[in-house]
């Protein structure tokens, strides 16, 4: 369906208990920039808008008003993409320095990911796409102490015989055909 409407995820917002603590975490650790703040027009909540790109007013927002009884988040995860394995290492260091106890480093074959909880228990993923596609779910340990070349080689060795494996360009071309039909 050439005229099908397919909205693209552009931003998300989460309710928080402690606005200052969460703003500090997402600006200091995740590197987001506060672009705006204020009171909502129709709801009695405070909002803080953040972005990682100058051309996007916001990609992420914090909203006050999370119920004090809410001990878990209803958000499955928030995913933030970085540009390189070196940037992924920097993020792993930032998260470790923050004292996050359960930092998971996973090689999905099609991406290299870090998973951790923010100060209020929301799951955050920081990831980088690999040059390959492999059907998901797939998960191997990711050792960021290895060189970029070693990570690339071990990833390819781990997934190249998986059914459905292909270079990312082929996968994207296949997906474009699906979207165009």
pLDDT in tens, 148-177: 999 999 999 999 999 999 999 998 898 888
> CATH says 10-65 is which class?
alpha beta
Q: Could you tell me which CATH number the domain at 76-181 has?
A: 3.30.720.110
DSSP notation for 30-77: S--EEEEEEE-SSSS-EEEEEESSTT-S-SEEEEE---TT--S-S---
Position 4 scores a pLDDT of 62
pLDDT tens-digit map of 113-137: 999 999 998 889 999 999 999 988 8
Domains of the chain: which residue ranges?
A: 10-65, 76-181
pLDDT tens-digit map of 40-79: 767 788 999 999 888 788 899 999 988 888 887 778 789 9
């Amino acid at each position: 369906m050439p005229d099908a409407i397919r909205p693209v995820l552009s931003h998300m917002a989460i309710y928080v208990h402690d606005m200052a603590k969460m703003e500090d975490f997402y600006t200091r650790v995740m590197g987001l920039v506060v672009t705006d703040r204020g009171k909502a027009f129709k709801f009695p909540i405070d909002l803080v808008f953040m972005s990682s790109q100058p051309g996007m007013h916001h990609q992420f927002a914090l909203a006050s008003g999370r119920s004090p009884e809410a001990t878990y988040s209803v958000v499955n995860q928030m995913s933030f993409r970085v540009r390189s394995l070196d940037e992924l290492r920097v993020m792993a260091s930032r998260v470790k320095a923050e004292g996050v106890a359960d930092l998971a480093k996973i090689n999905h074959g099609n991406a290299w990911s870090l998973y951790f909880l923010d100060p209020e228990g929301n799951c955050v993923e920081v990831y980088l796409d690999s040059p390959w596609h492999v059907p998901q779910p797939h998960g191997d340990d990711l050792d960021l102490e290895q060189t970029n070349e070693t990570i690339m080689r071990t990833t390819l060795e781990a997934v190249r015989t998986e059914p459905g494996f292909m270079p990312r360009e082929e996968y994207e071309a296949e997906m474009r055909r699906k979207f165009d039909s």
